[in-house]
Chains A and B, each alone.
Chain A
Amino acid sequence: MNPSTTVQTTVDESLSAAARAQGRTGRFHLPSRGERRNLVLGLLFISPWLVGFLAFLVYPIYYTFRLSFTRYSGFGQPTWIGLANYQRMFDDQVYHTALWNTFYYVALAVPIGVIVAMVLALAMNAPVPEVPVYRTILFMPSVLPLFAISFIFLTLLDPNQGIVNEFLREFGIHPPNWFGDTRYAKIAIVAIAQFGAGQVALIFLAGLKGIPQSLYEAAMIDGAGIASRFRNVTLPLMTPVILYDLILGVSQGLQVFTESYIITQGGPANSTNFYVYYLYANAFRYGGQMGYAAAMAVVLFLITFAIAILIFQTSNRWVHYDVT
């Protein structure tokens, strides 16, 4: 190792650091040697991600996009059929059902999830000494495998042997056949999702803890009650965290699959045939439909993207970043 080059680079670095400290000297400037060196080093360090990004994300998306214009059974070669797969989506009622089921699920599971998580977070924020115990209990289900939870709910919500229906009968309510009834199957799956609310609640709790006490005190001096304090202090300050959860929640909600695969196999009468479940069925169950599945994947990608943009667009109306 040549000491002079090392000194040189550190000098360069301190120079560029100084430049940074003064603010950018101009929009266009030739990169200094140190910057070039850092660029190379930086790219070197992130190269695993770069390769993975290209190989396992960009390329597959491109591949999917191309497949979506073909008929492809997975055997032999794909046959170019233009937009036929996309046209088929307009006629395919099962696809419409799957789309509807998925939106129904997202529209129910995501907002309910936010409310449940908010209630849990507010409760956990109370100065109760044994709160770590509650936190542990509430958080734990969200790290457990969904396939195992699906099994548990299958037992829990069994129309005859399940304890939930037994409770309902005790209270004189005629219990529904949760997973066997088109009216309740989706709702039961929404309920399963709430079992994982602890994780979001924890994120909300961290947000709550970040709200300065002084704001509450100020509000109290102004004579604000609990409800008013929640509406005017807590909620506005929580909106960035809620935004984060909404976007992630929608993205995850659109992917709902495991519960349907394990518990209902898409039934009864397609009532839990969700988008990804139908995509999976087309890709791997009906052997000939890889092209159609690819087109469905492209549309799902666009839907996810569009909803995320939509939420972001509306967010400047309700998300408050200003107060710290």
Chain B
Amino acid sequence: MTTTKSSQHRAEKRTRIAPATFNRRDLVKGAVGAGAMTFALGAQAPMIVRGQSKTNVTFWTTYTDTGLKNLTDIVNAFNKQSTDTNVKIVQIPPAEVTDSSKLITAVRGGTGPDVYLLDRFIVNERAANGLLEDLTDLMKKNGMNPDLTEDYIEFAAREATFDGKPYALPFDTDVRALYYNKAMIKEAGIDPATWDPSKGVLLWDDIKATAAKLNKKDTNGNFTQAGLVPWFDQGLPYTFGFSWGGTFFDKSKCEVTPDNDKIVASGDWIYNYAKDQGVDAFQAFIQAAMKPGAPPQQNPFIQKRMAMWITGDWSIQNLATYAPDIDYGITYLPVPTKGMNSTTWAGGWSVVIPQGAKEPEGAFKFMKYFAGPEGQKMYTKASSHVPTLKSVQADKSLYSGKHVFFIEKLLPTTKNRPPLPVGAKFWDELQTAWQKIYLNKESAKQAYGEAKQNTQTLIQQFCPIT
């Protein structure tokens, strides 16, 4: 008990800086000089629409495009059936998933939203920072069990829990796989039927050989077509690290372990892939599509310029919308050596109430709907993601076509990122290491070693992590 977070916090209280010493009165006095201008501006700050009996709840999301549309549909459905709450969805600028700067600055400025859609593996970090409301009381009041594991699948519930308390309601989850354009791999002399998942798991080295045959360059050495850029989209440190059988966190030592042999081996494979097939050319080829929030139309697979694509279940919908004419297949993520089991990983999002929310009650009503059976069912059908509510996940009628493969075959093979109070920092460090590896700037061992060291300097203050 003495080692838990809360007692640690209590101990820290004694050494806190007294808030009164941050002298704010002087500043206010100084501001008086600004006179009428201050008032004129200050008055226009809060815009509250009055004369409405419903509670207004603001819901922020970084989703764009079809993702935003799917969320808006759920919000509209909620507003239609709710008698006392009206939710307004606000799209805020997307950035890297770990970048919550708009949320953080808004909450600190007292202008945050009531509900925020947060990538679930960051919940722990934001909760540790004190950005999020503890949902325990609201859940009890609404007749829900604060132990999220009862209704939600295990890993999602764990990600949404910090220090034994619920800080988020899990929304969706997702699974990564290898997509391939059948017509294009035929060009490389592969019979697409042999890649069918029923024929077993493929080998990464075979994928590499096939991809090399499909690379085409123009006279200037630029790719006009590529077989596979394995670090594009969901080709991430976690994807390959898990595929090689690595683990990213050692709980007993309270140590992140990107430098473990298996993860380094996966990095070496990427390093050599880039070296063998062209570092700079790849970079120019995918640069436009790699930007955060880049539109699907810039995706080389959708443009039929890339034969293979490591991505998630949601891409079924994107392909149906943007490239309905591509005949493609989906298979397990390949493995490094024959006989290994294929492993993939799952992430997903959740809804949280940031500190200082003006309408936490109304916010929770919406969250209960949004992350409850109604919202999850709508979202699963619209986006081909995977629900996190056990009851909804079991509902087979929600899945059709290629989506079934994800639920039946891939879901049992998933791992997930360790939910850490430094999850965002660790993610960023891994991404930087990843770039150094695929740009051939540093060996995997060196890059991942640095990622470990940089994360470790930060994680120590939270140890032990329970």
Contacts and interface: CB of A to CB of B under 8 A. Distances in A.
Interface in A51-75: 51-52, 54-55, 59, 63, 66, 70-71, 73-75
B287 A177 contact: yes
A52 B104 contact: no
Given A59-B23, A74-B108, A285-B101, A80 B17 contact: yes
Interface string B1-30: 000000000001101110100110011001
A77 B19 contact: yes
B435 interface: yes
B96 interface: yes
A159 interface: yes
A168 to B, nearest CB: 10
B243 to A, nearest CB: 22
A269 B441 contact: yes
Interface in B38-64: none
B128 interface: yes
B404 to A, nearest CB: 38
Contacts of A93: 450, 453-454
Contacts of A269: 432, 435-436, 439, 441
B83 interface: no
Contacts of A91: 453-454, 457
Contacts of B130: 73, 75-76
B153 interface: no
B99 A285 contact: yes
Contacts of B15: 79-80
**Contact residues on A (Cβ < 8 Å of other chain), bracket:** 35 or more
A285 B104 contact: yes
Nearest to B21: A66
Nearest to B450: A93
Interface string A205-234: 000000000000000000000000000000
A59 B27 CA distance: 9
Nearest to B220: A169
A265 B30 contact: no
A78 to B, nearest CB: 5
Interface string B110-131: 0000000000000001101111
A284 B104 contact: yes
Given A285-B98, A287-B125, A88 B457 contact: yes
A51 B454 contact: no
B23 A75 contact: no
Contacts of A285: 98-101, 104, 424
Contacts of B432: 94, 267, 269-270
B128 A181 contact: no
Given A88-B457, A160-B222, A286-B424, A77 B287 contact: no
B435 A267 contact: yes
B100 A287 contact: yes
A264 B256 CA distance: 28
A98 to B, nearest CB: 12
Given A268-B435, A288-B129, A75 B26 contact: no
B129 A77 contact: no
B221 interface: yes
A55 B27 contact: yes
- Chain B contact surface mostly: helix
A180 B283 contact: yes
Contacts of A94: 429, 432, 454
Q: Which of A73, A159, A160, A285 has the most CB of B within 10 A?
A: A285
A159 B287 contact: yes
A239 interface: no
Interface residues of B, number: 51
A184 to B, nearest CB: 10
B280 interface: yes
A128 to B, nearest CB: 40
Contact of A48 (B33, B429, B441): B33
B105 interface: yes
B77 interface: no
A182 B441 contact: yes
Given A52-B30, A181-B283, A75 B108 contact: yes
A287 B461 CA distance: 15
Contacts of B450: 93
A317 interface: no
A287 B26 contact: no
Contact of A177 (B33, B283, B457): B283
B270 to A, nearest CB: 13
Nearest to B108: A74
Given A159-B287, A177-B280, A181-B280, A59 B26 contact: yes
Given A75-B108, A180-B284, A174 B221 contact: yes
A92 interface: yes
Most buried by A among B101, B129, B221: B129
Contacts of B441: 182, 269
A74 B16 contact: no
A177 B33 CA distance: 52
A270 B96 CA distance: 14
Given A59-B23, A63-B22, A180 B128 contact: no
A125 to B, nearest CB: 42
Given A48-B33, A268-B439, A287-B125, A77 B99 contact: no
A151 B119 CA distance: 29
Contact of A79 (B12, B26, B101): B12
Contact of A70 (B17, B95, B220): B17
B425 interface: yes
Interface of B: 12-13, 15-17, 19, 22-23, 26-27, 30, 33, 95-96, 98-101, 104-105, 107-108, 125-126, 128-131, 220-222, 280, 283-284, 287, 292, 355, 424-425, 429, 432, 435-436, 439, 441, 450, 453-454, 457-458, 461
15 contacts: A48-B33, A54-B26, A66-B17, A74-B104, A74-B108, A74-B129, A75-B355, A77-B17, A79-B12, A88-B457, A94-B432, A269-B439, A285-B424, A286-B424, A288-B128
9 nearest A-B pairs in the assembled complex, by CB-CB distance:
A75-B130, A73-B129, A269-B435, A287-B129, A288-B129, A284-B101, A159-B284, A55-B30, A80-B15
Given A78-B17, A94-B429, 10 more contacts: A55-B27, A55-B30, A93-B450, A177-B280, A180-B287, A181-B280, A269-B439, A285-B99, A285-B424, A287-B129
